[in-house]
Amino acid sequence: MDLQLKNKVIIVSGGAKGIGEGIVKVLAAEGAIPVIIGRDKADNLKVVNELGGQAHHFVAELTDPLQCESVVKSVIAKFGRIDGLVNNAGVNDGVGLENGSYEQFIASLHKNLVHYYLLAHHALPELKKSKGAIVNIGSKTAETGQGNTSAYAASNGGRNALTREWAVELLPYGIRVNAIIVAECWTPLYENWIKTLPNPEEKLKSIVSKIPLEQRMTTAEEIANMAAFLLSERSSHTTGQLIHVDGGYTHLDRAIS
């Protein structure tokens, strides 16, 4: 299926690794122009070089509101348009209720939620011109809880709420806004997290055994395929949706596994 994304300029925050990298590569394969926004130039360039210049990048620290604004301006200055935005950057940083603090909680909101708003806010004038689309990447932690991750869960609850709020607010402009909710997806960050746990191999086997569909982790490419669809005109009447690409993990009874 031709997703009609050729030459569409699409911002992907955190597009150099994990799910973001998967999205960038699928968009490039569809002929789009993915624009990575990430803090590490070397990581960004690694993906850009792998794609032979099909992708582009800008360096920005997204916890800094001024850099959120300036990086969107840089994209507009280079390309003259924005056709889509994928809010993806973030980290499950383990700021809990008992062991967290005000400072850690607020810092986590800036890592995981505030830049979603800021990038969308600054990209909006161009998205109105192009009738573009926004895709927010979220996490099942907002629905299931996980334990010891209050700030990340709160951020993802915010991502879900903003998805539906923006879908309503942006109806007059024909801008569609949807979210992809991720559960157990294998990424470098996930691998690093598993390694911090006691008996990581046993823990991983236990998690995988509870994923209803095929007892395996979701891949970054599977998330990316859904993102590309939601950015495309092939999903032209889909907005305000929280779409779970998770092998049934969030909603199916895991006792069936």
**Catalytic residue list:** 152
Buried b (16+ CB within 10 A) or exposed e, 112-124: bbbbbbbbbebbb
End-to-end CA separation in angstroms for the chain: 33
Q: Residue 209 CB: number of other CB atoms within 10 A?
A: 11
DSSP annotation of 171: G
Burial of 201 (0-12, 13-18, 19+ CB in 10 A): exposed
DSSP annotation of 57: E
3-state secondary structure of 215: coil
Q: Which segments of the chain are extended strands (E)?
A: 9-13, 33-38, 56-59, 84-87, 133-139, 176-182, 242-244
Do 228 and 27 form a contact (C-beta atoms < 8 A)? yes
Q: What is the CA radius of gyration of the chain?
A: 18
Give the C-alpha separation, 167 to 174, whole Å. Answer: 9
Query: Which residues lie closer than 8 Å to 121 by C-beta, 6 or more apart?
Result: none
